[in-house]
Amino acid sequence: MPDRLYSLAALTVLELSPPEMIEVAACAGYDAVGLRLIPATPEEHHYPLASDAGLLRRTRQRLRETGLRVLDIEILRLTPDTQVPRDFPRVLEVGAQLGASEVLVAGNDEDHERLVDNFASLCELAAPLGLHPHLEFMPWTGVKDLPQAHRLVAATRKAGRGNACLLVDAFHFNRSASRLEELVEVPAGWMRYAQLCDVAGPIPASMAEILHEARQQRCFPGDGDIDLQALLGALPPGVPLSLEIPTESLRRQGITAWERASLALDKARALVDSR
């Protein structure tokens, strides 16, 4: 089994500033972090890394001091109103400055022809910076499951955007009822990293409950009901794993960010090592 890179995703420890997050990740034993340059929701507390020069300087300094790398930046949403040349150059430039190689992209647009056009434009903008945009499927977005994501990335690559990639998150894979048979059909080179977590129980009937689980109530690998061994077996061997595991109930119980990050990494390593 190739050496595995583990990255701490922002959502796991969202209360931390980027320098604090890097410190926690280094102390817990991670290889990398994923940094949230754009908030996922208007209500989310956000550290404006792309616009705060002092925060960006401290973040880069902390990366140098710890030796950690930035795996990915997030979350770039493609909506009906998106204008890629207007909306994303600064974010991509900061991501490149931080040394990121991957970009998390959400397709919040039901018009798939327009979505492909915007995703292709984003890939074109990202390519000179060495960045690979990954379209992530989520049940409540315009890209609801793996087959839709596969078709959209294929169309983008057909348009000549060879850095267009697809992101598999274990939670969304499960809650969208995507299938392993569909995953093995995705070319390995389209998946430069994946997001790992677990979730308990059957798929809720309510999309509001799925959203709540996604943002606050995931499980550490092996503590839920997803067949993560089978999922890992269908992903490219040794693919970097971003641990995106929000556990709001543990945070409210006083479990620190370092403790949660450490538990996530210990559980992920145990799962991978048991294969």
Interval 170-217: pLDDT, tens: 999 999 999 999 999 999 999 999 999 999 999 999 999 999 999 999
CA distance 261 to 258: 5
Cis peptide bond prior to 75, omega within 30° of 0 = yes
Task: Tell me the C-alpha distance between 66 and 20, whole Å.
Answer: 12
Tally the residues of the chain.
Answer: 275
Two structure tokens written together for 251: 């945070």
- How many domains, the chain? 1
pLDDT range class, residue 102, cuts 50, 70, 90:
very high
Residue 1 lies in a domain: no
Q: Is 140 exposed, middle or buried (0-12, 13-18, 19+ CB in 10 A)?
A: middle
Indicate if the pLDDT at residue 2 is higher than 60: no
Residue that is written with structure tokens 């996604």 in the block: 214
Say how far apart CA 35 and CA 167 lie, in whole Å: 16
Structure tokens at 164: 């267009």
| Residue 18 burial (CB count, 10 A) | 24
- Rg over alpha carbons for the chain, rounded to the nearest Å, is 17
Instruction: Evaluate if residue 266 carries a pLDDT over 70.
Output: yes
Note the pLDDT of residue 275.
Answer: 79
The secondary element (H helix, E strand) that includes residue 71 is strand 69-78
Look at residue 262 and tell me if it is in a domain: yes
| Paired tokens of 35 | 């940094």
pLDDT (average), residues 66-87? 98
Condensed to tens digits (0 to 9), the pLDDT of residues 108-143 reads 999 999 999 999 999 999 999 999 999 999 999 999
Residue 81 falls inside a structural domain: yes
In a domain, 107, yes or no: yes
Residue at 177 is within a domain: yes
Beta strand extents in 79-236 (DSSP E only):
102-107, 132-136, 165-169, 194-196
Inside any domain, residue 56: yes
| Percent of the chain at pLDDT exceeding 90 | 96
SS3 192: coil
Provide the sign of the torsion angle of the four alpha carbons 154, 189, 219, 229, taken in this order.
Answer: positive
Mean of the per-residue pLDDT values of the chain: 97
The answer to whether residue 1 scores a pLDDT higher than 80 is no
Rounded Cα–Cα distance for residues 185 and 267 (Å): 28
Rounded-to-integer distance, Cα 29 and Cα 130, Å: 26
In a domain, 37, yes or no: yes
For residue 260 the two structure tokens come to: 């949660």
Q: Tally Cβ neighbours within 10 Å of residue 67.
A: 8
CA-nearest of 141, 251, 134, 250 to 195 is 134
Q: Report the DSSP beta bridge partners of residue 70.
A: 33
Domain containing 79 equals: 6-273
Q: Are 245 and 10 spatial neighbours (Cβ–Cβ below 8 Å)?
A: no
CATH code of 178's domain: 3.20.20.150
pLDDT tens across 223-254, in order? 999 999 999 999 999 999 999 999 999 999 99
The answer as to whether 32 is a domain residue is: yes
